[in-house]
Amino acid sequence: MLRPRLWWPLVILLAVGGCRDVAAPLAGHSFAGPELEVLDGLHILQQSPTAPPLETYQVSFWARHNRETTVAVDYQSGQPFIRFHIPKFGLKWAPNGARLWGGDSVFITLTLDTLNLAVDFQPSGVVFSKVFAPQLVIYYENANPDLNGDGVVDDSDQTLAQQLTIWGNSTNTQGWFKVVSKSDTTQQYVVGDIYHFSQYAICW
């Protein structure tokens, strides 16, 4: 049963495989903690208290300019959480500002928040093609259904779910910025194209 833009690339790196770095929450590494629940008017979606743990909370891999790559991180229940796809020729600039060509590669690390529906991408400074932009999908079926935090799950939460978008937080932009994204309330995911590394989260 898939879900957004049906891409199945040549290279798929599953978080349960050898690219996994950490198989449990990172101690002291909830980079988007409760203090970011509401920031500059943004409300960051949080994991449900009953959500199963993720298969991993950090995954690293090599991405090459002339190959497409997909990384997937699931819950231990098998439900999807993150899908990140870099198309062929998607990598454009290395962190040091060098143009990437041919078999040039970048070692990438994704760190997943233990509380919020958020992911941090490193290294900073990586820039992607605007023509072959990577696609980020974050699923929220295991999010806290009480989106507005009023203690009741009702129609207002359903209305807010239709407004969910991906936001990024980067020092280069001096704060949070909105990513052009789409929320699918039926399959419960938000998908958007990203053009550089940052911290990304589902917000309303």
pLDDT tens profile 40-72? 678 999 999 999 999 999 999 999 999 999 999
Q: According to DSSP H, which parts of the chain are helical? A: 155-161
- Predicted pLDDT of residue 39: 56
- The pTM is what? 0.82
Residues 6+ apart with CB under 8 A from 47: 114, 115, 116, 117, 142, 143, 144
- pLDDT per residue as tens digits for the range 140-175: 999 999 988 888 889 988 888 889 999 999 766 568
| Arithmetic mean of pLDDT, 19-43 | 46
| Arithmetic mean of pLDDT, 106-129 | 96
pLDDT band at 84 (very low <50, low <70, confident <90, very high): very high
In this structure, the number of other CB atoms found within 10 A of the CB of residue 99 comes to 11
How do 42-43 and 38-39 pair as beta strands? antiparallel
Q: Over the chain, what is the mean pLDDT?
A: 83
Q: Facing residues of 83 across strands?
A: 72, 137
> How many CA atoms, within 13 angstroms, populate the side-chain half-sphere of residue 191?
18
Closest by Cα among 4, 8, 57, 24 to 166: 4
- Predicted pLDDT of residue 117: 96
pLDDT at 7 over 60: no
Domains of the chain: 12-203 (2.60.220)
Lowest mean pLDDT: which of 9-13, 64-68, 144-148, 188-192?
9-13
Q: Cis link prior to 123 (omega < 30° from 0)?
A: yes
- Predicted pLDDT of residue 161: 87
Q: What is the DSSP string of 123-163?
A: STT-EE-SSS--EEEEE-TTB-S-TT-SS--SHHHHHHHTT
Phi-psi region at 202: left, alpha or beta (left = phi > 0; alpha = psi -120 to 50): beta
- Predicted pLDDT of residue 128: 97
pLDDT at 27 over 50: no
Q: Please give the share of the chain, as a percent, with pLDDT higher than 70.
A: 78
Spatial separation of the C-alpha atoms in residues 177 and 159, rounded to whole Å: 22
- Predicted pLDDT of residue 60: 97
- Predicted pLDDT of residue 158: 86
Per-residue three-class SS string for 163-186 = CCEEEEEEHHHCEEEECCEEEECC
